[in-house]
Amino acid sequence: MSRLPFELMIALRYLRPKRTFVSIITLICVVGVMLGVAVLIIVLSVMSGFDHDLKEKIFGFKAHLTVSTPGGRLKNWRRVADIISHAEHVRGVAPYVMSQAFIATDPPSGESTFAAQMIRGIDPKMEGSISVLPKSVVEGKFDLRGNRVLLGTVFAHEMGLRPGDRISIYSPRDLKKMKDARDKDEEEAVVAGDYQVAGIFDVGYFEFNAGFAITSLATAQDLYDLDEDVNGLKVMLDDPTMAEVVRTQLGMKLPGAYITTWFEESSSFLDALLVEKNVMFYLLFFIMIVAAFGITSAQITFVVQKTREIGMLKALGATGGQITAVFLLQSFIVGVIGVICGYGLGMLALAYRNEFLAAMRRSLGFELFPQSIYMFKELPAIVNPRDIIVICSGSLVICVLAGLFPAWNAGRLKPVEALRHE
């Protein structure tokens, strides 16, 4: 005698492959659940990877807190930096000067190219405490002595620049002189500062690699006529989630200072990413609803096909609850098999996601994940155990609920009517 419960034994017997139309429907149901679970795992893991890696890239170039003044000119910044450095959770402080300028290339032959670019002035000795920039130079070297600059990989490629090349930088001061001379009908030539490209950096984030040129703090102060002042201070914390707490503390110590957090500076993008992840979860969960309708259809077919057997079971003493349990167990088994297969397929796809993208690029010549749009070289992914639990358990519940009505209907069948069924 089998030690399996009566309901489970009958459910497994009904699900045994018999090369019939019903078996094909059951297989389709399993495949539907598998694909639904796999797609949900892949999409949510990729979205979690985007969120995590994006924050890492932002923190690599931007700070957790930015301290400035409403006028954009921070005086006595060394005293302010000393106050900040003694605050709780502060890991590093560094000054910055940041504004836009006009850059022109100076090639040995051919025409010059021009671009408007953000210039960021840094203290080379202090920058390492708040960003990964000193360790991100991929060509040349991190050297900002004299009139040397660092350029992002994307910008350098677009302008055709390499370490050792010369560029000219027109500051707002230079452009104002040109405008004043033109208004006075004077033919005064304004000579832009001549700079040498010392290195090319890659901080792993397209926007930063394309949008910034780095100079020394002294050079930037001279470009924007700041004397010894700076635009502000960048602050790195030991825990980014403590940004609001530290801002409150610093606000009491530095009255009049304008303090912004990393989330405020990137809030629109991060909020959009979070909303997109949630929307994708709810939309893709409809795949499971579709698979559930397949299970419902299969169970209805089972009940119709097994009506006479249900009548015999009831005539032999089976209760309505036991018959209902048989068909609910069928839905549960289909759901378990589909969820397990979907989990395996999803994890396999995540493990080889970048190899798949590379193969598609080689075979079709089509970039499915362009760096210029998504800002990452590779497709990021993080498997969040909480997401996996929600997806798998939710899918299993939907599968069981999908078989509830056919199972309940089977349990209500009367033995006499069932045995008369043709």
90-141 pLDDT tens trace: 989 999 999 888 888 877 666 778 888 899 999 988 988 888 888 889 999 9
Q: Is residue 23 part of a domain?
A: yes
pLDDT above 60 for 381: yes
The two tokens of residue 346 are: 């999803």
The parent domain of residue 256 ranges over 63-265
**Residue 307, number of CB atoms within 10 A of its CB:** 18
State the alpha helices, DSSP H only, in 224-317.
243-253, 262-265, 267-305, 307-315
Mean pLDDT value across the chain? 81
pTM of the full structure = 0.66
pLDDT above 80 for 316: no
The CA-atom distances, in angstroms, between 55 and each of 140, 184, 253 are: 27, 50, 28
Q: Which helix (DSSP H) or strand (DSSP E) does residue 390 occupy?
A: helix 385-402
Alpha-carbon gap, residue 318 to 323, rounded angstroms: 7
pLDDT range class, residue 1, cuts 50, 70, 90: very low
230, 139: one domain: yes
Exposure string for 191-222, b = 16+ CB within 10 A, e = fewer = ebbebbbbbbbbbbbbebbbbbbbbbbbbbbb
Which range, 181-190, 367-376, 392-401, is most confident? Answer: 392-401
Stronger pLDDT, 419 or 293, i.e. the higher one: 293
Q: Is residue 1 part of a domain?
A: no
116, 211: one domain: yes
Alpha-carbon gap, residue 63 to 81, rounded angstroms: 14
Residues 6+ positions from 19 with CB-CB distance below 8 Å: none
124, 213: one domain: yes
Q: Is residue 159 part of a domain?
A: yes
* CB contact at 8 A, 232 and 66: yes
- 3-state secondary structure (DSSP) of residue 173: helix
The domain total for the chain is: 2
Alpha-carbon gap, residue 315 to 313, rounded angstroms: 5
Final residue of a structural domain among 265, 280, 295? 265
Reference 169, options 104, 227, 96; nearest CA is 104
Final residue of a structural domain among 245, 265, 285? 265
Q: What is the pLDDT of residue 369?
A: 67
Q: Is residue 413 part of a domain?
A: yes
294, 225: one domain: no
The residue-averaged pLDDT of 403-417 equals 75
The number of residues in the chain equals 422
The residue-averaged pLDDT of 284-288 equals 75
Least confident of 72-76, 133-137, 275-279, 341-345: 275-279
279, 304: one domain: yes
99, 130: one domain: yes
**Residue 180, number of CB atoms within 10 A of its CB:** 12
98, 196: one domain: yes
DSSP bridge partners of 149: 197
Alpha-carbon gap, residue 42 to 348, rounded angstroms: 10
pLDDT above 90 for 345: yes
Alpha-carbon gap, residue 180 to 176, rounded angstroms: 6
Angle (CA) 3 7 12, round 5°: 80
Q: Is residue 67 part of a domain?
A: yes
Instruction: Quick: pLDDT tens for 59-72.
Output: 767 788 899 988 88
Angle (CA) 223 228 229, round 5°: 85
Least confident of 50-59, 178-187, 269-278, 356-365: 178-187
Alpha-carbon gap, residue 50 to 37, rounded angstroms: 20
Q: Is residue 341 part of a domain?
A: yes
Least confident of 17-21, 259-263, 277-281: 17-21
69, 179: one domain: yes
Q: Is residue 199 part of a domain?
A: yes
* Beta strands 90-105; 232-237: pairing state: antiparallel
Reference 303, options 321, 327, 329; nearest CA is 327
116, 250: one domain: yes
Query: Helix, strand, coil proportions of the chain in percent (round to 5)?
Result: 60, 15, 25
120, 24: one domain: no
Q: Is residue 238 part of a domain?
A: yes
Stronger pLDDT, 190 or 244, i.e. the higher one: 244
Q: What is the pLDDT of residue 110?
A: 66
Alpha-carbon gap, residue 275 to 357, rounded angstroms: 25
* Beta strands 193-201; 137-140: pairing state: antiparallel
27, 125: one domain: no
Alpha-carbon gap, residue 315 to 242, rounded angstroms: 69
> What one-letter code names the amino acid at 16?
R
279, 380: one domain: yes
- Long-range contact set of residues 371-374: C-beta below 8 Å, sequence gap at least 24: 371/206, 372/206, 374/50, 374/206
Final residue of a structural domain among 265, 280, 315? 265
